[in-house]
């Protein structure tokens, strides 16, 4: 059981942004980990779309893999009646604001003998009017700059709007660029929840990548705007993937008191969740955060956070 909790590290207050520096410094300047290379996994998207639900499972995986050192049955017994530990997703009320949350427990692992620290972020907000679009772009841009994997959590399917929002915040990528020609962002993973067309594209990474490759293709006959957005995205990210998630089952939706008991979640969902968690969080799959091709340590990430935020605030 993780002893962590979600901490809001960046708050949006009207037009302004605030970094919760004291708490963040306390966590990130811990001598045991401050020189470790850092892996930052962020899940970003609108609220009430299952981000914290997913993050709760990621925490469960990280506990099993990096604390108990055995992830063979990390999801647990499928008849299990224990509630899901982790990001609390029932108090949606409090979290329905734009901002970035961090799980206070930082997991430690090793990649080929190199010590690493793994951080989880939850980035949320909705692009529903002019002010919120500006705020959200900034918050999403910031979390994309800070993460090695940005998981863009979408419900149902990808819409052109979602791609346009991405385009807006990729403009912040230039903050991380020098003239070395490196791409400003690392991995972008579109995570499509409640995918309902497994007969067109099967669940998981293979179906998702087939779908996204087609979606991001450009052609001569395409409208100039659609084309340039697509080209820009490919220039900004080192890697773009897509994962198609099945619906978790009606019990997850219909039961107001649902607390993540495995027996209430569909097998299809749990099987794909297992693949997703292993694909992102297994030791041989972790991606270390880099800025301009250089690995970033825990304490350096904290410095970057301050610099980026100050620059963005102008």
- Give residues in contact with ligand GDP (CB under 6 A): 47-53, 89, 92, 193-194, 245, 247-248, 252-253, 258
Q: 51 in helix, strand or coil?
A: helix
Report residue 49 as tokens.
């779309």
Tell me which H or E stretch contains 304.
helix 298-313
* Residue with Cβ nearer ligand GDP (33 or 245): 245
**Residue 189 CB, nearest approach to ligand GDP (Å):** 15
**Residue 101 CB, nearest approach to ligand GDP (Å):** 9
Pairwise CA distance, residues 88 & 234, whole Å: 34
From residue 52, give the alpha-carbon distance in Å to each of 9, 58, 90: 16, 9, 9
Whose CB is nearest to ligand GDP? Answer: 50
* Residue with Cβ nearer ligand GDP (184 or 248): 248
Phi-psi region of 244 (alpha: psi -120 to 50; beta: other; left: phi over 0): beta
Residues in the chain: 314
Q: 246 in helix, strand or coil?
A: coil
C-alpha dihedral sign at 44, 49, 53, 58: negative
* Residue with Cβ nearer ligand GDP (89 or 172): 89
Q: 293 in helix, strand or coil?
A: coil
**Residue 47 CB, nearest approach to ligand GDP (Å):** 4
Cα Rg of the chain (Å, integer): 19
**Partners of 119 in beta bridges:** 40
What is the DSSP annotation of 266-304?
-HHHHHHHHHHHHHHHSTTT----EETTEE-BHHHHHHH
Pairwise CA distance, residues 239 & 148, whole Å: 11
* Residue with Cβ nearer ligand GDP (157 or 247): 247
**Residue 68 CB, nearest approach to ligand GDP (Å):** 24
Q: 153 in helix, strand or coil?
A: strand
* Residue with Cβ nearer ligand GDP (92 or 198): 92
* Residue with Cβ nearer ligand GDP (226 or 262): 262
**Residue 84 CB, nearest approach to ligand GDP (Å):** 10
**Residue 59 CB, nearest approach to ligand GDP (Å):** 13
* Residue with Cβ nearer ligand GDP (259 or 290): 259
* Residue with Cβ nearer ligand GDP (99 or 184): 99
Pairwise CA distance, residues 34 & 29, whole Å: 5
**Residue 107 CB, nearest approach to ligand GDP (Å):** 20
Pairwise CA distance, residues 65 & 228, whole Å: 41
**Residue 183 CB, nearest approach to ligand GDP (Å):** 27
From residue 100, give the alpha-carbon distance in Å to each of 44, 190, 216, 303: 9, 18, 28, 16
């Amino acid at each position: 059981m993780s002893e962590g909790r979600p901490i809001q590290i960046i708050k949006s207050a009207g037009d302004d942004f605030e970094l919760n520096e004291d708490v963040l410094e306390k966590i990130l300047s811990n001598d045991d980990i401050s020189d470790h290379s850092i892996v930052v996994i962020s899940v970003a998207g609108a609220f009430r779309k299952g981000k914290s639900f997913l993050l709760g499972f990621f925490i469960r995986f990280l506990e099993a893999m990096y604390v108990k050192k055995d992830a063979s049955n990390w999801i647990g017994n499928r008849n299990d009646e224990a509630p899901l530990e982790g990001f609390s997703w029932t108090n949606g009320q409090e979290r329905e604001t734009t901002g970035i949350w961090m799980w206070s427990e930082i997991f430690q692992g090793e990649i080929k003998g190199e010590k690493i620290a793994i951080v989880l972020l939850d980035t949320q907000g909705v692009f529903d009017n002019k002010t919120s679009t500006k705020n959200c772009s900034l918050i999403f841009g910031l979390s994309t700059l800070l993460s090695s994997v940005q998981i863009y959590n979408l419900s149902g399917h990808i819409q052109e709007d979602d791609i346009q929002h991405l385009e807006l915040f990729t403009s912040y990528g230039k903050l991380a660029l020098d003239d070395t020609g490196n791409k400003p962002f690392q991995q972008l993973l579109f995570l499509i929840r409640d995918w309902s067309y497994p007969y067109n594209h099967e669940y998981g990474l293979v179906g998702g990548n087939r779908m996204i490759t087609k979606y991001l293709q450009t052609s001569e006959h395409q409208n100039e705007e659609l084309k340039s957005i697509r080209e820009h995205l490919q220039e900004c990210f080192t890697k773009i993937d897509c994962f198609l998630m099945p619906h978790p089952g009606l019990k997850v939706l219909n039961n107001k008191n649902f607390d993540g008991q495995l027996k209430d979640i569909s097998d299809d969902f749990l099987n794909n969740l297992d693949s997703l968690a292993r694909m992102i969080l297994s030791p041989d799959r972790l991606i270390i955060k880099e800025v301009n091709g250089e690995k970033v340590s825990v304490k350096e990430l904290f410095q970057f956070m301050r610099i980026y935020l100050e620059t963005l605030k102008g």
